[in-house]
A = this chain, B = another copy of it.
């Protein structure tokens, strides 16, 4: 048998050559692995026992865990690959807030969000952490679409109420509104009739400290404590943001979030380029994680996130496309750029400087680490049981055809497994993603 869309693998066994990285830095190749799912789409057994009704991937295809995107601004999808020419604060006011304001139109929201989720699933992104907009109705629609299409998603209504940094035409009326509508979204998603399996979750989403009043941050922190809902926001992305928060609060961005009760277990902080060692240790102590967005940082951070330092201090880290702060909406691109950016942090960039003055020692990461961040690492940051082919994990997976005619992966002759994986990470595009499953149900 070969799989087909909407078919479920629940209770069945799929046989494939698989790669996963349950532990950072260690890739495991599982040749002809027989992965057996229980009736709920959870992996019950990984063996070489192949029942007669096993489902086999076509020869040459490989099975990978579904990709995890830890930072997506869903409403910014229409401007993906453009508007990358101004600093962060100008970019928000000039391009991004006017676009996000359009989501008061629920028809527009339904159309864009459906196209976005189709794009992400087609590219192999089975789990995503979404910023929506300030609009509750449009944000409900994003949740409905993720449920219908099968993306595992955490969805946040953006809270932003600060009159000094948010335009009159695009901000919450006041802090109480930010908190009340965030609570309303939590209730909507948690009690949605189509969400019994909890594949879609709410997430408390203050845009970032500069966009929120103290009252808003305080209220959202209390809501997180009361409901146990996860939290996401941006932290220390740019020199500007980092300094702005220090000036306003007299403490770091990270310390400010902790002060308001927003730095919690599985809180995901986007970017985090300018964290101090103290900030990193505080995040690690609280169980928070980082959404590393290497493409976006080129345009809006003016620095590379010190990934190796963060990992060494025990932070959970995954990858984010930062649609549309990053120009390309696939986790493949985030993965290869995470390797490239780490190399450029280690080497430095200016040939006029002596080699030892150019960069920063021991910053590089390898492909195995990038693969882990793109799969299990992102899942660990979110506290979700996906991202590897281990017993007890939900079966979110993708089948890759390295030889897809419109793909760009070059495999010529016999290729050792780890070299094949490296070629996949560097070369994969939508054209190579043959099949996509979440909870054992085929979505593409």
Seen from chain A, the residues whose Cβ lies within 8 Å of a Cβ on chain B are: 77-78, 80-85, 112, 115, 119, 122-123, 239, 273-274, 295, 298-299, 301-306, 327-330, 336, 340-341, 343-345, 347-352, 355, 358-360, 366, 406-410, 412-413, 419, 422-423, 426-427, 429-431
Contact = CB atoms under 8 A, between A and B. Distances in A.
Given A81-B422, A328-B336, 10 more contacts: A80-B423, A274-B351, A299-B343, A304-B349, A327-B427, A341-B349, A344-B349, A349-B360, A350-B360, A406-B406
Contacts of A349: 303-304, 341, 344-345, 348-349, 359-360
Contact of A302 (B301, B304, B341, B359): B359
B426 A327 contact: yes
A307 B414 CA distance: 39
Nearest to A419: B82
B430 A406 contact: yes
A427 B328 contact: yes
Contacts of A328: 336, 408, 426-427
A328 B408 CA distance: 8
A81 B350 CA distance: 25
A112 B431 CA distance: 22
Contacts of A341: 344, 349
A344 B298 contact: yes
Contact of A347 (B83, B303, B305, B423): B303
Nearest to A123: B408
A197 to B, nearest CB: 29
Given A78-B412, A328-B408, A410-B78, A352 B343 contact: no
Contact of A344 (B344, B351, B427): B344
A266 to B, nearest CB: 24
A8 B305 CA distance: 51
Smallest CB-CB A-B distances: 4 pairs: A303-B351, A302-B347, A81-B426, A78-B412
A118 to B, nearest CB: 10
Contacts of A351: 273-274, 301, 303-306
A80 B298 contact: no
Contacts of A431: 406, 429-431
A304 B350 contact: yes
Contacts of A336: 327-328
B423 A350 contact: no
A423 B303 contact: no
A382 B235 CA distance: 47
Contact of A119 (B83, B301, B410): B410
A343 B298 contact: yes
Nearest to A410: B80
Contact of A303 (B304, B345, B350): B350
9 contacts: A80-B423, A84-B422, A115-B412, A119-B410, A302-B347, A303-B358, A304-B351, A352-B360, A408-B429
Contacts of A412: 77-78, 112, 115
Contacts of A112: 412
For A112, A327, A419, the residue with the greatest tally of chain B CB atoms inside 10 Å of its CB is A327
Nearest to A354: B239
A358 to B, nearest CB: 7
Contact of A430 (B78, B302, B407, B419): B407
A94 to B, nearest CB: 13
Nearest to A424: B81
Contacts of A306: 351-352
A198 to B, nearest CB: 30
Contacts of A115: 410, 412
A431 B119 CA distance: 14
A145 B315 CA distance: 52
Contacts of A426: 81-82, 327-328
Contact of A408 (B329, B410, B427): B329
Given A302-B358, A408-B430, A423 B82 contact: yes
Contacts of A407: 430
Contacts of A422: 81-82, 84
A306 B115 CA distance: 39
